[in-house]
Amino acid sequence: MNTAEVVVNMPPANAMEAGQFIQLDNVFKAYNNELVVMDGMNLDMRADDRLVIIGPSGSGKSSLLRVLMGLEGIQGGDINFHGQPYIKSENNDSKVVSDELHSRVGMVFQHYTLFPHLTVMGNLILAPMKVHGKDKQSCIAKGRELLARLGLEDKVDYYPSQLSGGQKQRVAIARALMLEPELMLFDEVTSALDPEMVTEVQNVMMQLAEQKMAMIIVTHDMHFAREIATRVVFCAGGKIVEQGTPDEVFGNPKEARTREFLDKVLHLN
């Protein structure tokens, strides 16, 4: 695979300070007023952070990403992006306040979610053309450049069904990058892949990390988490139980719940 660098959009320098990039303030979310998945979550993310969120199933990891992407609402608390209201809860409901801020976040899902009736290039150029109003030729040129950097230059006219899982996931990453996001969300993007395809996707993510792309990654792969993270966040029961550098969380976890989880997961790995 071509390992040339993927060019990423960098946030402004002032966003490197805590509180200026993404800030969660006492965020509460429950399904049907019963199943609490985010129970007063507080989080400060800097623009040069690569947060890896770990935790057992149902701990609120994916919910956090889906809320940040505007796919789901919250019932309490506030989320600020660049110091401005991003998602705000009102009357037990919520929505993304600003389309402009929303378009600065990109997301890659576990199951690729490519559009099956469009070619690889069709998948890449639709949003830049329709959302940012860019002309087709410049989008195609950018798409080709991005695909070449991800080692997919010969797949331009392929349909998603003609690609391997790893290739699909790289196309999904390229599709998100076409919008030049400042923050990328990765929701268990290697969980559905065969083991030999996991590395090719993780390599692309490492390229992004080397370019200081802000990322929030939900993963069960602890080795990859340790490798890519600047900060590891452990969630359980809808709460952030512990957070710190990879060395702190993996090497010397403070909380019993974290130790218990890591013992199980690392033993399994």
b/e sequence 242-255, b meaning 16+ C-beta within 10 Å: bbbebeebbeebee
Residue (149 or 175) nearer to another protein, CB: 175
DSSP 7: P
Contact 86, 137 (CB under 8 A): no
Residue (1 or 71) nearer to another protein, CB: 71
Contact 140, 125 (CB under 8 A): yes
The crossing angle, in degrees rounded to 10, of helices 165-177 and 136-149 is 130
List the one residue from 88, 102, 144, 226 that touches another protein (CB under 8 A).
102
Contact 131, 179 (CB under 8 A): yes
Q: Which two tokens stand for residue 248?
A: 């702190």
In the region spanning residues 21 to 60, those forming contacts with another protein, defined by CB under 8 A, are none
In the region spanning residues 163 to 202, those forming contacts with another protein, defined by CB under 8 A, are 175-176, 179
Rounded distance between C-alpha atoms, residue 171 and residue 163, angstroms: 9
**Per CB under 8 A, does 109 bind another protein?**
yes
Interacting stretch for another protein, rule CB under 8 A, among 11-19, 26-34, 56-64, 126-134?
A: 126-134
Residue (62 or 258) nearer to another protein, CB: 62
**Per CB under 8 A, does 127 bind another protein?**
yes
CB of 103 to another protein, least distance (A): 5
Q: Which residues bind another protein (CB under 8 A)?
A: 66, 69-71, 99, 102-103, 106-107, 109, 111, 113-117, 126-127, 130-131, 159-161, 175-176, 179
